[in-house]
Amino acid sequence: MISSEARWGGGVTLLLFVFIFLPLLAVLVNVVFPGIFFGQVQFGGFRQVLGLFERPLWRQSLWNSLTLALGAATLGTVLGGVLATIRAQWQFAAARWLDGAVWTLLIAPSFMIAQGWVLFASADGLVHSWLGWSWVTSFIFQPAGLVFVMALSKFPLAYLTILGATEWNVRQFGQAAQLCGAGPFAVWRTVQLPLSAPSYAAGWTLVFMDTIGDFGLPAALSTVYKFPTLPYSIYSAIYQSPVRFDMAGVLAFYLVLILGAAMALLVFALRRSRYDFLNARAVRAVRTKPKRAWLFNIAIGVVLAVCAGIPLGTSVAVSFLKRAGEGLTAGNVTLDNYVALWGGGAGDHRLIDFAQGLMHSLSIAAAAAVLSMAIGFVIAYVLSFTEFRFKGMIQLFSVISLAVPGVVLGIGYIFIWNQKWLEPIGLHLYGSPSLLVVAAIAGAIPYAVRVQMGSFGNVSGSLLKAAAIQGAGMVDRMRHIVLPLVRHSLLIATLAAFGTSIFDLALASMLQPPNYALMPLVIDRAFEFSKYGYATAATVVGGASVVLIIVAIQALGRLAFRRLDRRR
């Protein structure tokens, strides 16, 4: 008889395989057997794979992606490392603003950040029309400038990774170096930096993977600057006439290959060296107040103004202007852009209705958040408290969707769920909102699992063993023991999944049902048609709505938890 642990473990493994690994496998299979998912079984060999180096657009897309990812990863890791080092050692007034800006940039979708930079730095943008700085336009709209912009938006990944490694104080090593005559910089270079090498490597890899799979920046730039990348070329192959799934599959294959190489390089680097330097003498790091705190406040303020203030502030400013190029004058300030959101795009038939798109996106994100939280709860339980044989496979599947870009998963979903034989059994999901929910769940599961794993680690397994001895089944143990102890993490996991699902432009673009409005597409479509006021107003209202919903649910959740505690 199969045990309950095996049933639950096998169930979530199968679910992760269908939601995450199977679409990726379909993309790779289509490279060797093009057309296999559309009734044309033929062996294409590897000739088409090598065709990337014969097609100028493909070759340029690969080169642009690598240039952007390598540059942004290096610059973003340097910036994140410097800020994390400062934040870990000193306490100053701007430190909380830094933490808030980091999380804002981490949550905000890249296409919104990129749109803010376009409105700021384009030839008719704010910096040119208000300040007359034409050099900003020429700097931003070139490969080096795009690396700069991407690094400013992606550095939070490196910052949080490196900051997490500074939790413990190991200054005794630095003090030993100082006794040998080493100066402050020599101590940092020879002691602190080598000890932090794993976090720097992990941060660099995260920024690299997130950048090379980013779809938002090239989508936002397409209106003013041509910079094809692998994700955008994949999208173009799907939406050209005729549709070229074979081309998209080849480009996706190279994208997955590069991401796999990046992860393998990280694993290799970590396994080559030992970093187990924490011992019984390790204590928690304590931040001290610097002598010239005002210098830190000014420096951090300038960094935040550039990283977050320019893109987000520009979007807010443009949303209140009739014409962005005419400056901030009394006659140019208006609320018409916000009024137009609820009037079907100010009469422009090309624009999708914002209210409808907002409701659709909120409902899809809410469904994905609840379901991914429930699935993540079971996965975290299986990984923490069971002896399931295939826990390593569950870990692998739950990590894959973090590394694989949305455009690749989108193609895989088209291959898997656009099959005629699925229609009689009611599983032909392509072209329906249900597939968007499935895709959102796949993207949110890794966050839901990792948020809950932290609190699961604080639950003693002896409680569950005692309950099992008394005859409690696995469901009873989940419901009556684990659930009350980790309820706060369940709420956070739900909100994290909700926030990460609502602004996914890549999956929305790939899997949008016919005549079905989605908020990311509303913003992107308006920006594409140069309706900048409408696009930025939609960005402000959409972002503010999500933040208010998250804050309200969090407050209601805390209130509900307090009432439950009082009843008990």
Q: How many domains does the chain have?
A: 1
Q: What confidence tens digit (pLDDT) does each residue in 18-55 have? A: 888 888 888 878 777 776 776 666 665 566 666 667 77
Cα–Cα dist 464/481, whole Å: 7
Residue 511 CA from chain centroid, whole number: 18
On whether residue 365 sits in a domain, the answer given is: yes
Indicate whether 254 belongs to any domain: no
Specify if 507 maps to a domain: yes
Give the tens place of pLDDT for each residue, 395-439: 777 777 666 777 888 888 888 888 888 888 878 888 889 999 998
Cα angle value 57/59/61 (rounded, 5°) = 65
257/262 Cα distance (integer angstroms): 9
Helix (H, G, I), strand (E, B) or coil at 321: strand
Cα–Cα distance measured from residue 560 to residue 549, given in angstroms and rounded to the nearest whole number: 16
Domain range for 374 is 12-37+335-459+489-568
State how far the Cα of 94 lies from the Cα of 100, in Å rounded to an integer.
Answer: 10
- Kindly state whether residue 424 falls inside one of the protein's structural domains: yes
Q: 71-126: per-residue pLDDT in tens?
A: 999 999 999 888 888 887 788 788 888 888 887 887 788 888 888 888 888 877 78
Domain assignment present for residue 31? The answer is: yes
Here the CATH number for the domain that contains residue 518 is: 1.10.3720.10
The verdict on residue 69 lying in a domain is no
Domain-located, residue 341 = yes
Hey, which residues does 90 pair with through a beta bridge? 288
Contacts of 264 (CB under 8 A, 6+ apart): none
Residue 168 pairs in a beta bridge with: 284
Let me know if residue 192 belongs to a domain.
Answer: no
pLDDT reported for residue 67: 92
Does 1 have pLDDT greater than 50? no
pTM: 0.78
